[in-house]
């Protein structure tokens, strides 16, 4: 099996304040209410399929997406699988 080099960090901004209680819905992501009625959801996904899963969850909950930003490779060093 090839090495997994797809782990990347993303910042998802949604409209409305979700509160930290929603963090459990977004496994391992940080959920922070920001100014202007925006919630920032930030974390690392294993690959594009996992990112689409998070976005699908937001869609299914009816939470409006404000922006999606690719923050780059996961700096934790977990990019390589042995």
Instruction: Name 32's Cβ contacts closer than 8 Å, sequence gap at least 6.
Output: 20, 39, 40, 42
Residues 45, 27: contact at Cβ < 8 Å?
Answer: no
Mean pLDDT of 6-13: 93
Residues 11, 71: contact at Cβ < 8 Å?
Answer: yes
Q: Is the pLDDT of residue 75 over 80?
A: no
pLDDT tens digits, one per residue of 24-69:
888 789 999 998 999 999 999 999 999 999 999 999 999 999 999 9
**Stronger pLDDT, 75 or 56, i.e. the higher one:** 56
How far apart (Å, rounded) are the C-alpha atoms in residues 71 and 50? 15
Instruction: Name 36's Cβ contacts closer than 8 Å, sequence gap at least 6.
Output: none
């Amino acid at each position: 099996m090839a090495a997994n080099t797809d782990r990347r960090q993303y910042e998802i901004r949604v409209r409305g304040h979700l509160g930290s209680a929603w963090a459990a819905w977004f496994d391992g992501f940080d959920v922070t209410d920001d100014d202007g009625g925006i919630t920032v959801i930030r974390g690392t996904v294993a690959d594009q399929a996992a990112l689409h899963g998070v976005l699908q969850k937001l869609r299914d909950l009816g939470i409006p997406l404000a922006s999606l930003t690719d923050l780059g490779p996961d700096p934790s060093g977990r990019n390589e699988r042995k």
